[in-house]
Structure 1
Amino acid sequence: MPQPVPQPEGRMPWKGRTPARTRSKSPRIFAVEMLRLLAIVGIAIFHTFLPAFEGVLGYGPRPIDPNTPISAVTGSLWAVWLVMMIKFVGAWGNHAFFMISGYFLLPRMMRDSLETGYWRRQAGATVRRVAQVLATVAFYTLIMLAVDRFVMPVASAGWKEWFLLGLEFVWVYTLVVAFAPFVAWLLARIARWNAAVLIALATVVTVLVYVLNAYVAFTSTGSFALFDWRKWMGALSYAVSFVLAGLVGYVMRRARGTVTGDGRGGAGYGREAGRGREAGRGKSGRPLWMRAGVWAWMLVAVLAVLSVVVAWAVAKGDYSLMYRLSFKSTSAFSFVLAVCSLMIAVAHAEARHASAARSPFRPAVQALASGILGFYVVQSLAGELWKPLCDRAMAPALADAALAGAPVARFGWLLAWFAVGIVFSIGFVVVVCVCDRCIRQPLLRALKLSR
């Protein structure tokens, strides 16, 4: 049997490659699709309770006033704590969205970048991805213009509100996807040269980005001009998540052969290489960093730390600390939670072969999760339609909580307020994603912009 050819120390192995045009599309991983769906729901819940978060900051830790409904929240420490915790969910969902895209896109691009015709293939693929985003925006813009013209006025209808402010996140994603082939080409060559350098570089860039994010969060407030570097730090945070997840996906694919013992680990992953890694493996033979349980415990630990920090700030009435720790997309807590969530999903898939698993919920989860891009666009463009509906649904419970004299009654009304907001968010996600699945996605497939 031929022996694997040894590679220079520190160089990432590269499996035997097949021409890109002959590769079939990989089946979707149920755990990752579930994470994608949870990210959508988390983002919806975040936006539902964002006005409450802003109201809590504005009112402050003052006594309950029956004429000020938000005071019912500030007058209950547990309710303030929960509103503050929900604030971190939005950035978590956004980072998870970028990480899932990077985890699947970048490793494939890195592998393909060493083949002939890479730039020609990626030019076509990138144009198709960007066109899909633009077509999605155009599709829902036409619908919203029709609503504004024939059904009811949309207060935010207009170029600036829709395309410069409301869709910032979508444009950031478009830029990241457009530059992904260049990033993958560079990363692949650094990986072939020395893996340690690539890992160190990724670590330094990630730490530096979040140090700058902390500086922005603790020294600035409010919004920034379009070309202000502080505004672009949020976009850079998402780009880092995209690249970091792509590197994780690349390393996991390289390690897959060694973990399973199928002999397809590639050069440098022979028996001698395996002996040196036994100390870092669990009883299952998998490296500890590729075990879902390890990341689940880390997720619990990070959540526990975050919960204690938020509880401490709430008890002291230091609401400004919560604003800074959860400032826009710069929250390090949200980033770490997203990393843990992604690793739990992909490590579970590696261990259980989840891509081939069958679940009664699988079709529904995949159908809803596929509408994440459409949901982002609808949530932004239709904000003046769904937000008033949400406010009207939640307002009675909050008003009754402020009027309640007994703590037990106030507790019950606040629970109802949270429940109504969460149920509304989930319902909004289901309605938008089902419509997106049934209308927009078939249209894009008919236009050859999607598969």
Structure 2
Amino acid sequence: MQPKAARNISIEALRLVAVAGIAIFHTFQWTFQATCVGIVEYAPLAAFPYSGLLGFINLLGCWANEVFFMISGYFLIASSARAWDGGATWKSQMQRTAQRLGKAILPTVFYCLVALAWSTVVSPIPDVALNTHYWYTLGLEFIWVYAATVFMAQWFGLAKSRLSQKSCTMTVIAVGILAFVVNGYLAAMSATSGGEFSWLQKLMSAVTYVIAFLIGGLLRDVTDAMDSDRAGTLGMRSLGTVLVLTIVLEGELSFTGNLTAMATLSYKSTSLISFALAAVSLLFAATRRSASGNPRTADAIVALSTATLGFYVMQSLTSSLWRPVFNALLVNILVIQNSPAAICIVTGTVISIVFALALLIIDAARSLIVRKLKQRSTHQR
């Protein structure tokens, strides 16, 4: 058995930043919506520059999801293509795929069972029950789309192995452009039709995840083909450019009070802005030179980053418990504080990061226990 390749700590750190992004996004999700529709308690957040900050935060959910898929595509497509080039059989590829799927599906099933048991025996969790299904189906849409994409990775790798790089690149780019044309059309139509096309936008969110996975594979080709100095410069300049443009856009919309456009540009995972920001974020992380820092810090980053899916599942399953508490806290700040908007945003950001860290630690502990049990079982044989 070949030893596992060393992890890219910069990319693992990007996973953690994305976890923070998704946590902050979900904390402010209702707050942003309430601000956009003009609920009076949220009026302080509608002013410049606070609405711009909320608009940027509302991009983080899409950005984080795309980052997760791009990172997976960055590694899995190249790995699958190398295996095919090395003479891998369908049986061996399916075995590798089954192992990868197990790492995503088994923890998800575990947390679903824990949530169901808690809701049934200890204290009810709203919407988590045997006679309902949303909480483990569409409520975990991200997980199931991710699992389907991982399953398709072997075919993506086969295409990469058999076709020319130019053909693969042009095909992915063409499909990506088509998808975002559709996304833009649906966003425009939904804004004028009262959400009539929202179900199509949800479907396109899943399609966009798959495209993000494929773009991750293309970014691997870019970083592999360039020398490290040139790639590093490209990554830094690309991230800086897209980040500045995003901040300027959100600032302009905030200054003009165009909150409707903010909401339209950041709907779910169909946002072109978030997609571009995710791509350059991965390019930046992938082209950072490995630093010989503290090994314990690197180990902690890896341990927490591998808990990403566990975090997502736990956050989703318990959202009906923590979301009302967070929403009430933020609206109370807006009502009683002297500088409510700034305090609200800072408080929401802090509690989001603390909550995310707690969930990451829980799943990292679960993974550690599972590994210890496997090692003990192996020694006893």
TM-score (ref. length: structure 1):
0.77
2:155 counterpart letter in structure 1 = F
Question: Structure 2 vs 1, CA of residues 137 and 224 (structure 1 numbering), >3 Å: closer, same or farther?
Answer: farther
Q: CA deviation at 1:127?
A: 1.5
Partner residue in 2 for 1:186: 159
Report whether the alignment pairs 1:365 with 2:301.
yes
Superposition deviation, residue 204 in structure 1? 1.7
Q: CA deviation at 1:353?
A: 3.5
2:315 to 379, 383, 386: 379
1:329 aligns to what?
269
Pairing partner for 2:167 from 192, 197, 204: 197
Deviation at 1:237, TM superposition (A): 1.0
For 2:345, which of 414, 418, 423 is the aligned residue? 418
Deviations 1:354-394 (A, max 9, x none): 4x654552222222211100011011111112113323433
Aligned partners of 2:9 and 2:290 also within 8 Å? no
1:398 aligns with 2:369: no
Shift of 1:161: 2.4
Matched residues in 2 for 1:175 and 1:444: separation? 25
Asked if the contact 2:239–2:284 (Cα under 8 Å) also holds between the matched residues in 1, the reply is no
* Same amino acid, percent of matched pairs: 31
TM normalised by structure 2 equals 0.90
Q: Which moved more, 1:119-128 or 1:295-304?
A: 295-304
Q: What are the residue-to-residue correspondences of 1:20-35 with 2, within 5 Å?
A: 22-35=1-14
User: Is 1:310 matched with 2:250?
Assistant: yes
8 Å contact from structure 2 (residues 45, 341) kept in 1: yes
1:442 counterpart = 2:359:
no
Q: Are the counterparts in 2 of residues 375 and 433 from structure 1 also a CA contact under 8 Å?
A: yes
Is residue 49–residue 255 contact of structure 2 (8 Å, CA) maintained in 1?
no
Which residue among 58, 62, 71 is the counterpart of 1:87?
Answer: 58
Give the direction of change, closer, same or farther, for the CA distance of 1:326–1:300 in structure 2 (3 Å limit).
Answer: same
| Letter of the structure 1 residue corresponding to residue 71 of structure 2 | I
| Deviation digits for residues 243-295 of structure 1 (CA, Å, limit 9, x no counterpart) | 11123224534x37xx4xxxxxxxxxxxxxxxxxxxxxxxxxx573x12x332
Q: Is the 8 A contact 1:299 1:337 kept in 2?
A: yes
Q: Distance in 2 between matches of 1:84 and 1:392?
A: 20
Alignment equivalent of 1:127, drawn from 98, 102, 122? 98
Q: Deviations over 1:25-56 (max 9, x none)?
A: 11111111110100000000000000111101
2:371, 2:104 → 1: CA distance? Answer: 10
Alpha-carbon separation, structure 1, partners of 2:38 and 2:328: 21
- Determine if contact 1:107/1:247 at 8 Å carries over to the other structure: no
Superposed counterparts of 1:245-284, under 5 Å: 245-253=216-224, 255=225, 259=227
Distance 1:92 1:433 in 2: 19
- Letter of the aligned partner of 2:127 in structure 1? S
Residue 422 of structure 1 aligns to a residue whose secondary structure is helix
- The aligned length equals 370
Give the aligned residue type for 1:374: G
Amino acid at match of 1:425: S
Q: Distance in 1 between matches of 2:114 and 2:246?
A: 41
Higher helix share: 2
Please state how far the C-alpha of 1:95 moved relative to its aligned partner. Answer: 0.7
Per the TM alignment, residue 223 of structure 1 is displaced from its structure 2 partner at its CA by 7.4
Contact 2:30-2:327 within 8 A present in 1 as well: no
Letter in 1 for 2:313: V
Q: Radius of gyration: which is bigger?
A: 1
1:170 to 143, 162, 169: 143
Select which of 31, 41, 53 maps to 2:32: 53
CA RMSD of aligned residues (A): 2.2
Distance 1:153 1:223 in 2: 33
Pair 89,382 (structure 1): closer, same or farther in 2 beyond 3 Å: same
Matched, 1:238 2:165: no
What secondary structure, in the 3-state scheme, does the structure 2 residue paired with 1:234 have? helix
Distance of 2:73 and 2:280 partners within structure 1 = 15
- Equivalent position of 1:266 in the other structure: none
1:298 aligns with 2:238: yes
CA distance in structure 2 between the partners assigned to 1:386 and 1:223 by the alignment: 30
What is the distance in 2 between the residues matched to 1:319 and 1:392?
22
CA deviations on 1:96-128 (whole Å, 9 max, x unpaired) are: 111111111111111111233331111112122
Relative distance call for 1:440 and 1:360 in structure 2 (3 A) is: closer
Quick check: 1:91–1:334 contact (8 Å CA) kept in 2? Answer: yes
**Secondary structure of 1:313 counterpart:** helix
